[in-house]
């Protein structure tokens, strides 16, 4: 588990907590989605909305799964991603990501990569654990803001991939995590493209990698 290599300062943030309660419709949907990924089905086909499922439910279970998986992926390299090594949350020399929220940072603010990651994971966790947004009860409608919120979550999670691939790829190779991260990236990319959940400009930092892995 990634959490075993994290410092106590980081362990609370980089530990996925969101799970669908067993026996609920979303838990069954979650199992179905995961099963399709291990049955030899092409990832492009696996992300498509099943005819018997609803769009919002399908997006919800994938957002939670991607949060959990990307959270742990970052955890594998977080010991190498420090204020000293990564004083800017960036994706190479051309791309810098500023942090803003409605609480502590109301204006876009430059943070170190680990500070940005910590704020991001806590922010996402607070949203997906809010049952007024990520509805868990059958028959209760999602709010109108649900998809815009998911787009923002997924866009920011994509930036985690950008930072890891550009600044810590060598560590992924040493740790033997390259194949796993590549698979997760492909799954994520196919999903957000299938449902147009991230603007095209966000893909620019990894366009060459994407062309190699996904096309």
* Domain boundaries, position 151: 2-214
Q: Which residues contact 18 (CB under 8 A, 6 or more apart)?
A: 64, 67, 68, 125, 128, 129, 134
Measured on CA atoms in the order 178, 209, 211, 73, is the torsion positive or negative?
positive
Backbone torsion region of residue 132, taken as left when φ is above 0, otherwise alpha when ψ lies between -120 and 50, otherwise beta: alpha
What does the pLDDT average to over 180-200? 96
Q: Which CATH number covers residue 29? A: 1.20.140.30
> 4 pLDDT band (50/70/90 cuts)?
very low
Q: Could you give the number of structural domains in the chain?
A: 1
pTM of the model: 0.84
Buried (b) or exposed (e) across 122-153, using 16+ Cβ within 10 A? ebbbebbeeeebbbeeeeeebeeebeebbbbb
Looking at residue 137, what is its pLDDT? Answer: 83
Beta-carbon neighbour count of residue 12 at 10 Å?
A: 14
Residue at token pair 């923002």: 152
| Span 175-184, pLDDT tens digits | 999 999 999 9
Q: What is the DSSP letter of 122?
A: H
Looking at residue 52, what is its pLDDT? Answer: 87
Helices (H) and strands (E) in the chain, counts: 8, 0
């Amino acid at each position: 588990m990634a959490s075993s290599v994290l410092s106590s300062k980081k362990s609370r943030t980089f530990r996925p907590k969101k799970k669908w309660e067993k026996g609920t419709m979303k838990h069954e949907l979650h199992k179905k989605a995961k099963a399709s990924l291990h049955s030899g089905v092409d990832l492009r086909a696996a992300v498509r909305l099943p005819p018997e499922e609803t769009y919002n439910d399908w997006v919800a279970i994938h957002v939670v799964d991607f949060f959990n998986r990307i959270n742990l992926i970052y955890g594998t390299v977080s010991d190498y991603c420090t204020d000293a090594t990564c004083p800017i949350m960036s994706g190479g020399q051309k791309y810098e990501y500023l942090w803003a929220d409605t609480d502590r940072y109301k204006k876009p603010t430059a943070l170190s990569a680990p500070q940005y990651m910590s704020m991001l994971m806590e922010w996402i966790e607070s949203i997906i654990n809010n049952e007024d947004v990520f509805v868990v009860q059958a028959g209760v409608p999602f709010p109108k803001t649900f998809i815009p919120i998911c787009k923002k979550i997924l866009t920011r999670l994509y930036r985690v991939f950008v930072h890891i691939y550009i600044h810590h790829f060598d560590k992924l190779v040493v740790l033997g995590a390259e194949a796993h991260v590549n698979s997760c990236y492909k799954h994520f990319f196919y999903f957000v493209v299938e449902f147009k959940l991230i603007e095209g400009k966000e893909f620019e930092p990894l366009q060459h990698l994407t062309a190699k892995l996904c096309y």
